[in-house]
A and B are shown apart, each in its own frame.
Chain A
Amino acid sequence: MADMIYRVNMATMSFKIEDVPADWMGLGGRGLTSVIVASEVDPECHPLGPNNKMVFAPGLLSGTSAANSGRNSLGAKSPLTGGIKESNVGGTLAGIMAKLGVKALIIEGIPEDDSTFYHIHVSKNHVKIEAVPNLVGKDNYFVLDAMEKKYNKKVAVMTIARPGEMKMLVSNISVRDPKGKLRSYGRGGLGAVMGSKKIKCITIDAENYKEVTYANSDKFKEASKIFTKSLKDNPISGEGMPAFGTNVLVNIINEAGALPSRNFRTGNSENAEKICGETMAENIKARNGSTTHGCHAGCVIQCSQTYNDKDGNYLTSGFEYEMIWAFGANLGIDNLDTIAAIDALMDDLGLDAIEMGVCLGLAVDAGILKYGDGEEAFRLIKDEVPNGTPIGRILGAGTGYLGKLYGLVRVPVVKNQSIPAYEPRAIKGQGVTFVTTPMGADHTAGYAVGSNILNVGGTVDPLKKDGQIELSRNLQIASAAIDSTGMCLFIAFSAIDDPVCLPALIDMLNARFGTTLTGDDVTNLGKMILKTERAFNIKAGLTSADDRMPEFMKYETLPPHNVTWDFTNEEIDEFWNF
Chain B
Amino acid sequence: MNQRINITLKLFAQYREGNFKVEQRVCKSGTTPQDIIDELGITKHLPLGILMVNAKHENEKYVLQEGDTLSLFPKVGGG
Q: Which residues of A contact B (CB under 8 A)?
A: 235-237, 239-241, 243-249, 251-252, 255-257, 273, 277-278, 303, 321, 443-444, 447, 449-450, 453-456, 459, 461-463, 489-490, 493, 560-561
Report how far A463 CA is from B57 CA in the complex, Å.
10
* 15 chain-A/chain-B pairs, Cβ below 8 angstroms: A235-B49, A235-B75, A237-B77, A239-B75, A244-B13, A244-B78, A248-B13, A255-B12, A256-B52, A257-B55, A277-B78, A278-B21, A303-B78, A454-B77, A462-B57
Contacts of A561 in B (CB 8 A): 55
Residues in chain A near residue B78, CB distance under 8 A: 241, 244-249, 277, 303, 321
Cα-based distance from A459 to B57 in the complex (angstroms): 10
**Least CB distance, B34 to chain A, in whole angstroms:** 16
Contacts of B76 on A, CB cut-off 8 Å? 236, 240-241, 244, 248-249, 252, 454
**A235-B74, A240-B75, A247-B78 as given contacts; A455 in contact with B13, CB under 8 Å:** no
| Closest residue of A by beta carbon distance from B47 | A235
Residues of chain B contacted by A453 (CB below 8 angstroms): 50
Cβ–Cβ contact B13 & A240, under 8 A: yes
Whether A255 contacts B55 by the Cβ 8 Å rule is: yes
- The reply to whether B52 and A236 form a contact with Cβ atoms under 8 Å apart is no
CB nearest to A452 among chain B residues: B57
Interface size on B, residues (CB 8 A): 22
Q: A321-B78, A453-B50 are in contact. List 8 more A-B contacts (CB 8 A).
A: A240-B14, A240-B75, A241-B78, A246-B78, A252-B12, A277-B78, A454-B77, A456-B77
Q: Within the assembled complex, what's the spacing in Å between the Cα atoms of A240 and B78?
A: 9
B18 contacts the other chain (Cβ, under 8 Å)? no
Residues A450 and B21 in contact in the complex (CB < 8 Å), given A243-B13, A243-B14, A278-B16: no
Q: Which residue of A lies closest to B14 (CB)?
A: A243
Which chain B positions have C-beta within 8 A of A321? Answer: 78-79
Chain A residues in 8 Å Cβ range of B71: 255
- The answer to whether A241 and B77 have CB atoms under 8 Å apart is yes
* Residues on B facing A (Cβ under 8 Å): 10, 12-14, 16, 21, 46-47, 49-50, 52, 55-57, 71, 73-79
Cβ contact of B79, chosen from A244, A447, A455, cutoff 8 A: A447
> Across the A-B interface, how many residue pairs have beta carbons closer than 8 Å?
91
Majority-rule SS of B interface residues: mixed
Q: How far is the CA of A453 from the CA of B16 in the complex (A)?
A: 20
Query: When the two chains form their complex, are residues A239 and B77 in contact, meaning their CB atoms are under 8 A apart?
Result: no
Residues on B with beta carbons closer than 8 Å to the beta carbon of A243: 13-14
Can you name the residue of chain B whose Cβ is closest to the Cβ of A492? B79
CB pair A273 B12 closer than 8 Å = no
Q: Which residue from B13, B47, B55, B79 sits with its C-beta under 8 Å from A560?
A: B55
Taking A255-B71, A455-B50, A461-B57 as contacts, is the C-beta distance between A236 and B10 under 8 angstroms?
no
Query: Bound state CA distance, A203 and B57, in angstroms?
Result: 48
Asked if B77 contacts A255 (CB within 8 A), the reply is no
A201 vs chain B, min Cβ distance (A): 29
A239 / chain B contacts, CB cutoff of 8 Å: 14, 46, 75
A385 CB to closest chain B CB, in angstroms?
27
Given the interface pairs A235-B47, A240-B74, the reply to whether A273 lies near B79 with Cβ below 8 Å is no
Distance (Å) between the CB of A398 and the closest chain B CB?
22
Structural contact, B77 and A240, CB atoms closer than 8 A: yes
Q: Is the CB of A273 within 8 A of B21?
A: yes
Residues of chain A lying within 8 A (CB to CB) of residue B21: 273, 278
Q: Which residues of B contact A255 (CB under 8 A)?
A: 10, 12, 52, 55, 71
